[in-house]
Structure 1
């Protein structure tokens, strides 16, 4: 299917330069003979990066990157740091082959993943992984920082599950934190987001999340993705207006306000969309759902329009 690239791959006779000492992964995508190509790919334990020779239609010219870890998961205390540069006019997608498993914590050790990416002018970078699944007692921290220009295009899917709920581990991890920052041009903040779940002495995560087992966020930014943003916002609005419509009752303007839906009547999936940035150049969708499969279906349906750019529809094989 592809090859594991753990050494520098240099195009056009450029000398190889050593990776930053703290980085466990470095990827550079540039134009080579008019097409997007990986000109540098470095990874070291516990990270592996696979660059398949072909994913989907070759006419798209997109580069696909698969981020993996030895042992199929992140061990307590692991620290993974990866930098990605997507050059002007290039297209790249970064994904995983399965859910990212975060194993049980040893003491108070936290597992960490950091991604820092630069997206060039008229470039497209799609970060479309499978969900993070934290085992019982796990501690996990993730940070993703993106530097973009006014014409850059960015897709971020950031999502996690309640754990191995088929084994009875439902929101049983100790802590989960995910941070996403997008900076425009000279480090002007464009999107700042943080999610934190911790076990509390008065109220557990499971009690707060109730029957929902999946939390997801989708960010779409850039001129190439405007039509996908508009379509997703319209479809989410229509879907939720039906599912959350309170039962009608007489009484006109003086009728009692609708009461919160009882748990047995809550929708299996709740979604919302909000624009951000100057003139709504970006959009963020937030989803909570009872099942992982329903979120896969949501992502598959609403991101299918990325296929012409990426050569394959995200999550189509899930």
Structure 2
């Protein structure tokens, strides 16, 4: 099957939150175009970035450039880090995006290299504020109050891997706030020879309704028995999960209260799309911008959980992880509970070389702990080294 991508949509007339003021000030000093000495491109359009990881013989970034509001950081390698592996952070100035921001990042990973692409904390998506516009669009007209719904914040990511390369795309969870509109599309392209690999983590929380960190389990991550204990601990906390309600101190109208959220992830091998996962939350028929409007339709459907995560796996580098998850599934019993457990997970094999993990939880830290335990037991930490792994998740 031939893989195609829809052309980018034209951004709508844009507005912004108070974050825009701080971001605009930063933009003046950070048109944020950084490159290597050998790379002197023309000025990139707002929000555009390019990253190229080369291998000669130690992996290094031969190209690194980004334009506001996108920022790229590439810290030095750690002593325990394999020479072919490098870490990069993709982030937004001020830690968030405002209505109408458009971020487009293209990444290339050369043969035999390993790229770990992270964020520094959760990316926040802010609702629009009539009468202002974001810096990332060159729009001459400033809209006035009542001009219609917030323009959509968009992120597009395309990563191309050469033979023998691998990718760990492991951002922190996204936080879409009340009345915000957000759409992202992420595509990872692997060579047809099947020698490259990708792990793509995509997760979203309920915004300001996301519960504060409160890990429900402790001790070092282990294998099948450890994961079963974590699931049992989550089930024991089921009483806290019952019903569609906000955490203490958080108004109902802040829980899953975005106007619109869409996330599409694709893995392409050669010319064939072998995995596509899409999540859409649409509250536009519900007035999420009205304070005191109560629980949104999405909040009712997603209750009692405040975090949803998906992990797409493909390629030989993650064979140990797929085998581990198959073993966990085979050793897990299914039974009915009187109320929803505190954490749910599932694993499905997509092919001999691919699979998908899904997790839903009450708190971000619960899901993070479970993912860390599962990926560690599946040997993912060995790909990047013990020093770098704690930064990954």
Give the TM-score normalised by structure 2: 0.69
* Residue deviations 1:26-61 (CA, integer Å, cap 9, x gap): 0000112x2211110001100000000124723353
Equivalences for 1:160-309 in 2 at 5 Å?
A: 160-165=204-209, 167-168=250-251, 169-185=254-270, 187-199=271-283, 201=285, 204-239=297-332, 241=333, 244-246=334-336, 261-262=337-338, 265-277=339-351, 280-304=352-376, 305-309=379-383
Report the secondary structure of 2:323's partner residue: helix
> Which of 151, 162, 165 is the matching residue for 1:123?
165
Paired with 2:329 and 2:305, the residues of 1 have a C-alpha distance of: 18
Residues 19 and 144 of structure 1, relative CA distance in 2, 3 Å threshold: farther
Deviation at 1:22, TM superposition (A): 7.2
Say whether residues 1:140 and 2:182 are aligned partners: yes
* Farther-moved stretch of structure 1 (194-203 vs 138-147): 194-203
* Farther-moved stretch of structure 1 (115-124 vs 302-311): 302-311
Paired with 2:203 and 2:325, the residues of 1 have a C-alpha distance of: 17
Paired with 1:309 and 1:160, the residues of 2 have a C-alpha distance of: 26
CA RMSD in angstroms, aligned pairs only = 2.3
Paired with 2:259 and 2:389, the residues of 1 have a C-alpha distance of: 31
- Contact 1:137 1:173 survives alignment (8 Å): yes
Report the secondary structure of 2:371's partner residue: helix
Residues 60 and 270 of structure 1, relative CA distance in 2, 3 Å threshold: farther
Residues 47 and 236 of structure 1, relative CA distance in 2, 3 Å threshold: farther
Report the secondary structure of 2:164's partner residue: coil
Deviation at 1:16, TM superposition (A): 4.1
- Contact 2:45 2:67 survives alignment (8 Å): no
Question: Structure 2: where are the runs of 5+ without partners?
Answer: 1-29, 130-148, 212-249, 287-295
Residue 255 (structure 1) aligns with: none
Deviation at 1:231, TM superposition (A): 0.6
Paired with 1:63 and 1:103, the residues of 2 have a C-alpha distance of: 31
Report the secondary structure of 1:189's partner residue: strand
Give the TM-score normalised by structure 1: 0.84
Residues 138 and 233 of structure 1, relative CA distance in 2, 3 Å threshold: farther
Deviation at 1:6, TM superposition (A): 3.6
Higher strand share: 1
Q: Say how many residue pairs are matched.
A: 289
Question: Structure 1: where are the runs of 5+ without partners?
Answer: 247-260
Residues 213 and 21 of structure 1, relative CA distance in 2, 3 Å threshold: same
> Which of 58, 73, 80 is the matching residue for 1:50?
73
Paired with 2:183 and 2:346, the residues of 1 have a C-alpha distance of: 25
Residue 26 (structure 1) aligns with: 50
* Residue deviations 1:269-317 (CA, integer Å, cap 9, x gap): 111111224xx21111111111111111012112222222122464557
Report the secondary structure of 1:45's partner residue: coil
Paired with 1:71 and 1:124, the residues of 2 have a C-alpha distance of: 30
- Contact 1:55 1:64 survives alignment (8 Å): no
- Contact 2:205 2:306 survives alignment (8 Å): yes
* Farther-moved stretch of structure 1 (169-178 vs 158-167): 158-167
